[in-house]
Structure 1
Amino acid sequence: MCGIVGLFLKDPKLEPELGAMLSDMLDIMCDRGPDSAGFAVYGAGTPGFVKLTLRGPAGTDFAALGAQIGHIIVPRDTHAVLSVPAVEEMAVRAALARLAPELRVVGAGSRMELYKEVGLPLDVARRFKLETMAGTHAIGHTRMATESAVTTDGAHPFSTGPDQCLVHNGSLSNHAGVRRRLAREGVKVDTENDSEVAAAYLTYRMRGGDSLGEALEHSLGDLDGFYTFVVGTESGFGVLRDPIACKPAVMAETDSYVAFGSEYRALANLPGIGTARLFEPEPAKVYFWDRAA
């Protein structure tokens, strides 16, 4: 039942409005998933630096922690962003694990920031001030839990690789077997959520040399169930529905953007929607839009 939204901007003039547009889309999808929500935004990055999105218990003193490790940590409610030189990433992660073992690194990459929490999607978006965020593309999710408990760990998106994340509507029937296969290859999946298994599978394929498109193509044979995936990368986002495609999905494309929603009403307030090319993604077909193309 979950709701998925995604927005890829072609027109740089819209980039300051990305967060506000996505926040509205998440709000409209609230009744498809009222128990938790999350989103990943691809904003500005600094060459040679990695952004780590951290999540801690309520009341975490991120400023004090930043002083201990010698880096500025910018808080957003229960999350915070720490930007460090890429060559220092492993050392900083080790320091965080030693000084604040209760923290989790929920996302990492040159441009991606990832936020998720339990609660109504509109409230989650407001807590993290999504409407103020700028960027080139973003994906989001509103969850109605069916496969695991209502927890922040179980909320989407799931990120298992640099600048890569996934949101999912549906259910995988063979996720336990895929989890065991990944474990044999040294790939750890932290939660019970089948969506994290899907994210880890794509990361595993890409580390083996696949492009995202190739990894998604392989998933059609290796992941069984009914699902819609929307995947974010540093330079774009992709969409894939299973061969039966029983989960609802609609897309809109204009000269200014490409948008995805579980229902058309998630797209109805976007600028220029009246003249957009509207279509339903075809079953078992990989769609991908890339800033570098």
Structure 2
Amino acid sequence: MCGIVGLFLKDPSLEPKLGEMLGQMLGVMCDRGPDSAGFAVYGGGAPGKIKLTLRAPAGYDFAPVGAALGDGAELETRATHAVLTIADSREAEARDTIAKQFKDVTVVGAGQRMELYKEVGLPSDVATSFKLSGMSGTHGIGHTRMATESAVTTNGAHPFSTGADQCLVHNGSLSNHRSVRRDLERAGFSVNTDNDSEVAAGYLSWRMKEGRSLGEALEDSLDDLDGFYTFVVGTETGFGVIRDPIACKPAVMAETDQYVAFGSEYRALAGLPGIETAKVWEPEPAKVYFWDRAA
């Protein structure tokens, strides 16, 4: 079944409350996906720096990772995850060091502004463990998972990130994900889980690598991805939504002068400020919606 939430802030005064608002929305969706949960937040970033979100088993000591990369590496630990900030020119070095020296550590996301967290457990508990309510930023997306096509694991939890500052959450099922997976692998993209949602994220990155904008890549997905799905995507500056042409998965959006919000059900939006006067609508099938702070 699964639940999706997304929040894009227009009003900078709300940015310190992004995590609190997103966490409330995520908590309401617990019963749509009690197995695992995750979220991505687009917060502060510095030119010339990149953030690598790392994941490891519970109780893991991330300090040696930062020490191995020496001066200039900054590390912030949150439960089973840590955010490693380094010069973007050192990203390949950092990934190589982690792969060779720290076998229990996985890189789950990277970007100048994006931090990505996901774990097995009740979504409200996952949000609390990572201290989502204290995070600030401009936009974020989240997912509560009821596993159907693969096991209940952290690897299977959403969001999936296959490009810098890019991530995706998905409600639905792709019928042709195996053939798309083979296309991705031939194009040089590695798919690390059995989850069809990672294939969808990789598909968008593949199209963008070929020169398509995210909006164009989402439009391409309507022809190339079979099944029923709702995608909510995040980029460094933007937030997008698309539903398949049948649109059998529930979805609702709300927009005010302060924000744009998405939820699998209206109740996920009901606690947002000013919702009583918001424009509320069901996104149309096979239509790309996108908001971009850079526009």
Structure 2 counterpart of 1:81, one-letter code = V
Q: Distance in 2 between matches of 1:182 and 1:63?
A: 35
Secondary structure of 2:233's counterpart equals strand
Residue type matched to 2:245 in 1?
P
Tell me the residue number matched to 1:17.
17
**Percentage of pairs with the same residue:** 74
> Take 2:74 and 2:262, find their aligned partners in 1: how far apart are those partners?
35
User: What secondary structure sits across from 2:162 in the alignment?
Assistant: strand
Distance 2:226 2:68 in 1: 46
**Contact 1:51–1:82, Cα closer than 8 Å, also in 2:** yes
Aligned with 2:212 (options 201, 210, 213): 210
**Match for residue 134 of structure 1 among 114, 133, 136:** 136
| The one of 237, 243, 246 aligned to 2:245 | 243
Shift of 1:64: 2.8
Q: Deviations over 1:93-114 (max 9, x none)?
A: 1111122021100000000000
Question: How many residues are treated as equivalent by the alignment?
Answer: 293
Question: Distance between the aligned counterparts of 1:64 and 1:243, measured in 2?
Answer: 49
Deviation by residue 1:17-62 (Cα, 9 ceiling, x = unmatched)? 0000000000000000000000000000000100000001112111
Distance 1:47 1:196 in 2: 28
Deviation at 1:188, TM superposition (A): 1.1
Which amino acid counterpart does residue 5 of structure 1 have in structure 2? Answer: V
- Cα distance in 2, alignment partners of residues 286 and 93 from structure 1: 34
Give unmatched runs, 5+ long, in structure 2. Answer: none
Distance in 2, Cα, partners of 1:92 & 1:118 = 26
Matched with 2:291 is 289
Of 148, 170, 190, the match for 2:172: 170
- Paired residues of 1:36 and 1:150 also in contact (CA < 8 A): yes
Tell me whether 1:55 sits opposite 2:59 in the alignment.
Answer: no
Distance 2:47 2:200 in 1: 29
Letter in 2 for 1:27: G
List 4+ stretches of structure 1 deviating above 3 A. none
Q: Which residue of 2 aligns with 1:160?
A: 162
Provide the residue aligned with 2:111 in structure 1. 109
Superposed CA deviations along residues 234-253 of structure 1, whole A, max 9, x for unmatched, are 00110000000000000000
CA shift for structure 1 position 68: 2.4
TM-score (norm 1): 0.99
Instruction: Give distance in 1, aligned partners of 2:187 and 2:20.
Output: 40
**Contact preservation (8 Å) 2:10, 2:259:** yes
**What is the distance in 1 between the residues matched to 2:90 and 2:247?**
43
Q: Which amino acid aligns with 2:153?
A: T
Amino acid at match of 1:286: V
**What is the CA-CA distance between 1:153 and the residue it aligns to?**
0.1
- Paired AA for residue 32 in structure 1: R
Compute the RMSD of aligned alpha carbons: 0.6
Query: Structure 2 length normalisation: TM-score?
Result: 0.98
Aligned residues of 2:74 and 2:86 also touching (Cα < 8 A)? no
Q: Who is 1:272 aligned against?
A: 274
